[in-house]
Amino acid sequence: MTDPVGKAPDRLWGGGYAQDTHPLVQKLNASVGYDQKLAYDDIVGSLAHATMLRDQSILPEDDYAAIVTGLRTIWADIAAGRFVWSVAREDVHMNIEAALRDRIGDPAGRLHTARSRNDQVALDERLWLRRTLGQIAGYIAHLAAVLAEAARDHANWPMPGYTHLQRAQPVTVGHLLLAHAEAQLRDASRVLDCLQRLNVSPLGSGALAGTTLPIDRDKTSALLGFAGPTRNSLDAVADRDHLVEAMAAAALGAVHLSRIGEELCLYASAEFGFVRLPDAFTTGSSLMPQKKNPDMAELLRGKSGRVIGDLVTLLVALKGLPRAYNKDMQEDKEPLFDAMQTWGDCLQVTADMLAAAQWQKKALLAALDKGFLLATDLADELVRAGMPFRTAHEKVASLVAELVAANTTFGKLGAVRLADKLGVDTGVVAAAIDVRKALRRRDIPGAPHPGRVAREAVAMGKRAAKVQALAQAWLVPCAAERLLVGDAA
C-alpha cells in the first residue's frame, strides 16, 4: 500500500531552506513506488549494521534490542501487506527508518550512525541482485536440464538443419536442442561470474569518504555473507558495474530465448509442422475459430527488445557521471527490476513450454527428402573417390540443378541412376543419400551422430545439475537474514 502524493511536507532533514519542497519535485524525487522491492534487503542490511554497532560499543544493548525487535515487526507487516508506504518519505530507506522511529522512539535515531543512504542503497542493490541472480541461475540450469532431457529423447530423430533459413544439411532434433542448451550454460556462466564480482560489501563507505567512528567493516561484511568489504569508498557508492553486467547478461539471455521463440514459431506453423505446442502456451483468434497462435513463443521474441532497452536505459543514466553518488543513479532500479523479472519469467515459461512440446516425426522425415540436404555428403564421396573438392562441388551442383528442373530428388532418382550421372560406382553414393547413414558417418566431436548426441545429452544434464548446485549456494541465508527470523548474531 502506498499513500497518494499530496501537499509536499517539510523537508525530512537538513536545514537552511526557506521553502517547502515543490509537489512535483516530491513526486519526481520519490522512488518508494518501486524501490520498496529492496525492503527485505534494507532490513537485513540494517540488522547487520546494528549488530556491528553494538559489538563496537557504539550502540547500547537496550537500543540494539529495540531496533532488532522493531525491524522484525516492520518486516512482518511488509511481508503481510500491512505496511503503508509513504511517498512523502521518499524511498524505502526513509520509510523503514521513519516507521522504526514511530514504533520504538529515540533508539531508532541511532541506527543510521556511521551510515549514509549512499552506501545503504549500494548495499541493498547488491543483496537483492545476489539473491535474484542466484534464482535466475537456477532457472537457467532448469531450462538446460529440460533441453538435455528432450535432446536425449530425440537424439536419433533426423530433421533438416538450416542456414539462411534454407534447408542445408541433416541434423537431429536432439542436436538442435543441445545447441540451445549450450547457449543457456554460457548465460549461466556469465551470471555466476557476475555474482563473484558483486559479492563485496559497500557498507561503511558512508556518503563517499567512510566515517570517523570505529566501525568494523569486516564484521558487517561477514554478517551479510560477502567475501569482504569494498576497497575504495568513492568507488563503492558510485559503482553500478554489477548492475550493468547483470543486465547485459539478461539482454543476451533474452536474445537466446528470442531465438528459441523464433524457431518454435516457425516449426509450429502449418508450413513446417515440425512441432506442436501445448494449448497452455497458445491462444485463439478473436475472429478466426481455427487459429491457434504461438503467443508465448512470439513474446519470447518481443520481450528481448524490452530487456535490451532496460540495459540501454541504465548505461545512458550512468554515462558521464562524476564520482561519487548522483541522483541520476536513482534511475538504475526500474530497468534493473524489469530486466530481471522479465528474464526470469521468460526462462521459466520457456522450460515449461519445451518440456511439453511434441515433435512430429513424420513431418520431419518428409522435410528431409526436400531440398537436397545430402548434396554435401555426395560431394564428400566424390572426394573420397579421388576428385578435387571444387570439382566435386561443381559436379553435384550441376546435378542438383538438373534434378530441380526435373522436379525430382536424390531419393526418387535412386543410387543407381545417381551413380551413373556422376560417373562413379553405385556404392560410392548409396550411403550418402541415406539420411540415417549420413548422420552416423558424422562421428566427430560436436557433430550430430545420434550416439554422440545421446551421450552429450547425458553430459548436458550433469553440467546443468552442477550449475543448479552453484546457484543454490548463493541462496543460503546469511547470518543477518537468520537474525531477522530470530536466530542470535
Residues with a catalytic annotation lie at 164, 285
C-alpha cell at 5: 502524493
Contact 253, 186 (CB under 8 A): no
Distance CA 156, CA 133 (A): 35
Q: By C-alpha distance, which of 77, 11, 8, 7 is closest to 40? A: 77
Torsion region of 292: left, alpha or beta (phi above 0 gives left; psi -120 to 50 gives alpha)? beta
Distance CA 97, CA 275 (A): 55
In our burial notation (b when 16+ CB lie closer than 10 A, e otherwise), range 125-141 reads bbbbbbbbbbbbbbbbb
Distance CA 373, CA 376 (A): 7
Rounded alpha-carbon distances, angstroms, from residue 8 to 21, 34, 36, 47: 6, 20, 20, 31
Distance CA 107, CA 49 (A): 14
User: Could you tell me which residues come within 8 angstroms of residue 220 by beta carbon, excluding any fewer than 6 positions away?
Assistant: 48, 49, 51, 52, 201, 203, 204, 229
C-alpha cell at 419: 551413380
DSSP string covering 349-409, please? Answer: HHHHHHHH-EE-HHHHHHHHTSS-TTHHHHHHHHHHTT--HHHHHHHHHHHHHHHHHTT--
Contact 84, 32 (CB under 8 A): no
The 8-class DSSP code of residue 108 comes to G
User: Could you tell me which residues come within 8 angstroms of residue 450 by beta carbon, excluding any fewer than 6 positions away?
Assistant: 155, 156, 172, 174, 439, 440
Rounded alpha-carbon distances, angstroms, from residue 166 to 169, 174, 352, 372, 410: 10, 20, 29, 11, 17
Query: What is the residue type of 264?
Result: L
Which secondary structure element, helix H or strand E, spans residue 442, and what is its range? none
C-alpha cell at 364: 520431419
The 8-class DSSP code of residue 159 comes to E
Give all strands (DSSP E) within 207-247, no chain letters.
none
Angle, CA of 325, 331 and 333, to the nearest 5°? 100
Give all strands (DSSP E) within 152-200, no chain letters.
158-163, 166-172
User: Could you tell me which residues come within 8 angstroms of residue 287 by beta carbon, excluding any fewer than 6 positions away?
Assistant: none
If one counts every other C-beta atom within 10 angstroms of the C-beta of residue 23, the result is: 12
Contact 277, 353 (CB under 8 A): yes
